[in-house]
Amino acid sequence: MDPILTLRASFVVSGLIILVVRALNIPSLSSGFLNYGSRGTSSSSASDQSKDASSRSKDGTSNARDSLWFIQVPHSWFASFYVTSTALSSYWIFEILTNGSVFKSLALAVTDRSPHQSMSTHQVFLVWALMSIQGARRLYESLYVSRPSNSSMWVGHWIMGIAYYAGVSIAVWIEGSPALLDRKTPQLTDLRFTAPTFRTFVSLPFFLLASGAQNDAHRYLASLRPVSPPSSAAKPVYKIPEHPLFHTVVCPHYTAECAIYLALTVMAAPKGNWINWTLASVLFFVVVNLGITADGTKRWYESKFGEASVREKWRLIPYVF
């Protein structure tokens, strides 16, 4: 099967499943599948819910599927997503530069493509480098910027996150397969600097601006939480963000994430295309996932601080949603 079509279908179908779960609005399903972090379950409440599920099971009112939602992992495991991202970025560039067997098996499986319909090698290496920087920055933020938390996430979220970054690590180069295979001998000169195209001239600053904004937002959010060990019994103190980035949008760090992938989608467009459709499918998944999470965040702020606190703020995309 063509890996390009497989990746596109996987991201689009995953996004549609999330939309369907949200539309069905079944509390027992949505609470486990869509909520996490401060909007999800703390370690203590997860334990209590698990006990409740166990007691209901004894009464015959629940089953094994109910118990599945209560398998939680520490929210700090988010860092493993970015370990996966950076590790696989390193792996794939090694495979590409050495014409490794795994790279060749995937690249040769791409059908109905020619070097004239491909990303250029320079596009591949630029987009790969930016995705590597993104993964490394997020790993650094997870380890050294984010504050310890007692919150947890459903194990399914963790598995999906690992699968997502594994897919993205391939998506950034797969549409350049024909050009990469057309090279006679991989050389370090493939990484040399060349004058940017107009597309790169526009999308690269956009990527850097979005990355900087996301870093600012993450650092600010971390500053709102008091420094305390994750084992502390004290409840976290939440505040309404007042940073300029939060004046219009509830979750500007999510907005920045979408902007980052939009920049990569445009930057990685193969010859004759305005966008890279494989990365566009990634962007679709990101917008759906973060859009629903941002909606939950706004609802959480409303319940915590009152509807007026976020009444004039958009969830994810200003003047759209």
The answer to whether position 36 is within a domain reads no
Residue 9 maps to a domain: yes
Does residue 224 sit within a domain? yes
CA dist 249 and 318 (Å) reads: 7
* Residue 144 counted as domain residue: yes
Nearest to 235 by CA among 60, 44, 54, 102: 44
Residue keyed to tokens 């947890």: 152
Q: How many domains does the chain have?
A: 1
- Closest to 39 (Cα-Cα) out of 292, 311, 312: 292
- Helix/strand/coil for 152: strand
Burial 142-151 (b: 16+ CB within 10 A, else e): beeebeebbb
Question: Is 34 contained in some domain?
Answer: no
- For residue 250, what are its two tokens? 């509830």
**Going edge to edge, which strands form the sheet with 151-154?**
41-42, 151-154, 72-74
User: What is the distance between the alpha carbons of residues 31 and 72, in angstroms, rounded to a whole number?
Assistant: 13
pLDDT in tens, the chain (321 residues): 899 999 999 999 999 999 998 888 776 666 666 666 555 554 444 444 444 444 444 444 455 555 566 788 888 888 999 999 999 999 999 999 999 999 999 999 998 777 668 999 999 999 999 999 999 999 999 999 988 777 788 888 899 999 999 999 999 999 999 999 987 665 666 566 677 788 999 999 999 999 999 999 999 999 987 665 555 555 666 788 999 999 999 999 999 999 999 999 999 999 889 999 999 999 999 999 999 999 999 999 999 999 999 999 999 999 999
Whether 46 is in a domain gets the answer no
* CB within 8 Å of 109: residues ≥ 6 apart: 1, 2, 3
In a domain, 11, yes or no: yes
Length of the chain counted residue by residue = 321
pTM reported for the whole predicted model:
0.87
What is the span of the domain harbouring residue 253?
3-15+71-187+198-228+240-309
Q: Are 301 and 311 in contact (CB under 8 A)?
A: no
Alpha helices per DSSP H over 98-194: 101-108, 121-140, 155-174, 177-182
The reply to whether 258 falls in a domain is: yes
